[in-house]
């Protein structure tokens, strides 16, 4: 291990042999850090926190400190961060709240400076959270999402896979998969065509998604009636089936169209 002499690391913490820790960083009793992870200067990693392999954590990040939740009374809760994540300067990740609560971050994500992941969030894989992107408690961010700088996601909101959220947006309802959303509150502008093409989604699937988006968000139908219309008219491809299932499971309601 490459441990700077000013770093303070609990003897109870579990660090892989090739972990490096920079000056003045603090690592608590119940922390587990995987192979080849690099921790910069002045970082604090505490609580029941596990960090996977080959992560890079930059100056001043605070991971695993008590959740910012008035209901939290010191119960044992957890933060689990996967492999190959880049966590830039002064990011803050909180563990779950309540006994056994968990915040889970997947693999290969980029969290730019000052990003915040609150208690009980779930972040998937290959996401980009730009500077000051903020997730409130119990937020779910699915795979391959791009969250613009200064965007804020309301508690319990879900952000669907392969969606992109514009900078400074206020997301108060679920953002559908494959969408482009922006605004105060965020509304749906259409498909994330660039993201779909970059992930090799077929032209037929994109065509069907475009048709389904028109019915869901621009037909004037309620979501309930729009879903009936879609199920009556088409035999959906995989991506459309996923979108329909996402809409049906929405608890906070879906973001509206920009045309409303």
HEC-encoded secondary structure of 207-229: HHHHHHHHHHHHCCCCHHHHHHH
Burial class (CB in 10 A: 0-12, 13-18, 19+), 229: middle
Say if strands 78-81 and 102-105 run parallel, antiparallel, or are unpaired.
parallel
Q: Check whether 259 has a pLDDT greater than 90.
A: no
Identified catalytic residue from 106, 137, 160, 195: 137
Identified catalytic residue from 69, 120, 143, 174: 120
Q: What are the tens digits of pLDDT across the range 16-62?
A: 999 999 999 999 999 999 999 999 999 999 999 999 999 999 999 99
Q: What are the tens digits of pLDDT across the range 189-231?
A: 999 999 999 999 999 999 999 999 999 999 999 999 999 999 9
Q: Check whether 260 has a pLDDT greater than 70.
A: no
153 forms beta bridges with 135, 171
119 is catalytic: yes
Q: Check whether 234 has a pLDDT greater than 90.
A: no
Kindly report the number of other CB atoms within 10 A of residue 202's CB atom.
Answer: 12
pLDDT for residue 233: 87
Identified catalytic residue from 42, 119, 138, 154: 119
pLDDT > 90: percent of the chain? 97
Phi, psi angle pair for 212, to nearest 5°:
-65, -40
Between 99-103, 152-156, 231-235, 245-249, the lowest mean confidence (pLDDT) is in 231-235
């Amino acid at each position: 291990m490459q441990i700077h002499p000013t770093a303070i690391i609990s003897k109870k913490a579990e660090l892989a042999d090739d972990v490096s820790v920079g000056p003045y960083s603090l690592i608590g009793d119940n922390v587990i850090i995987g192979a080849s992870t690099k921790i910069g200067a002045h970082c604090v990693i505490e609580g029941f926190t596990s960090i996977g392999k080959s992560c890079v954590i930059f100056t001043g990040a605070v991971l695993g400190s008590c959740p910012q939740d008035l209901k939290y009374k010191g119960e044992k809760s957890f933060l689990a961060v996967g492999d190959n994540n880049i966590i830039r300067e002064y990011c803050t990740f909180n563990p779950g709240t309540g006994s056994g609560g968990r915040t889970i971050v997947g693999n290969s994500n980029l969290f730019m400076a000052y990003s915040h992941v609150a208690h009980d969030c779930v972040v998937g894989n290959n996401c980009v959270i730009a500077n000051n992107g903020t997730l409130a408690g119990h937020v779910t961010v699915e795979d391959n999402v791009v969250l613009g700088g200064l965007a804020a996601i309301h508690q319990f909101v879900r952000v669907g896979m392969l969606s992109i959220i514009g900078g400074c947006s206020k997301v108060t309802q679920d953002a559908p998969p494959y969408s482009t959303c922006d605004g105060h509150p965020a509304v749906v502008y259409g498909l994330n065509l660039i993201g779909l093409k970059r992930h090799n989604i077929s032209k037929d699937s994109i065509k069907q998604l475009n048709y389904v988006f028109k019915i869901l968000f621009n037909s004037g139908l309620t979501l309930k009636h729009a879903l009936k219309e879609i199920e009556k008219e088409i035999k959906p491809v995989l991506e459309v089936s996923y979108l329909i299932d996402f809409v049906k499971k929405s608890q906070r309601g879906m973001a509206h169209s920009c045309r409303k």
